[in-house]
Amino acid sequence: MLMRVLAMAVLLAAAPPPPVDYSVYFWPAPGAMPDKSMAGVERQFAVVINTADLAGTHPYKLLLRAFAPDGSLACETTTTVAPWPGRSTMKRVAWFEVAYPGKAGDRRVRSGKYLLRAYLTEQIGQGQHAEDTNLSNNQFPLEPPQYAPVEFDVRPGAAEIRCAVPSFPPGPEPRR
């Protein structure tokens, strides 16, 4: 009996750790209408999704970039995302936002299609090992040949665009 227990302990110790996997995506999904929950503002959120069983211990850095119709960088922002438990849960951690004023004279933004990109990087301390088991989902959109642009249509009359993050850490919510 003791030998069985010891053999089981050796097998458990040799088993690979359960996976940790965070990915980045956009919400509403690319191609859908932007979020319009605030009057005069349209948003496209960058979301981080916990797709695995474990939370892990390393934080992640998210970089959100928006490129103007001429290809120049229109805005960018970064934030740190702490790990959290809950398979298939997401956090809206940053967004691209367009404000449309009620007044006609406040139009200062070039209209057209803005391209959004999000990058997620595991923050690994010195002497530590990476936990994320799938790096292929740590940027969106993907690189060619799987590239499908995330476009945000800025209509004429926009007064401001910006990339932003919440002033407090968002809580996890069910993946939509």
Instruction: Taking residues 38-57, report their average pLDDT.
Output: 93
For residue 175, pLDDT over 90 is answered with: no
Tabulate helix, strand, coil % of the chain (nearest 5): 10, 40, 50
Give start and end residues of each alpha helix (H) in the chain.
2-14
Residue 17: pLDDT band (50, 70, 90) is low
Q: For residue 56, give the 3-state DSSP assignment.
A: coil
Predicted local confidence at residue 162, as pLDDT: 96
> What pLDDT was estimated at residue 87?
87
- The more confidently predicted of residues 101 and 111 is 111
pLDDT at 7: 43
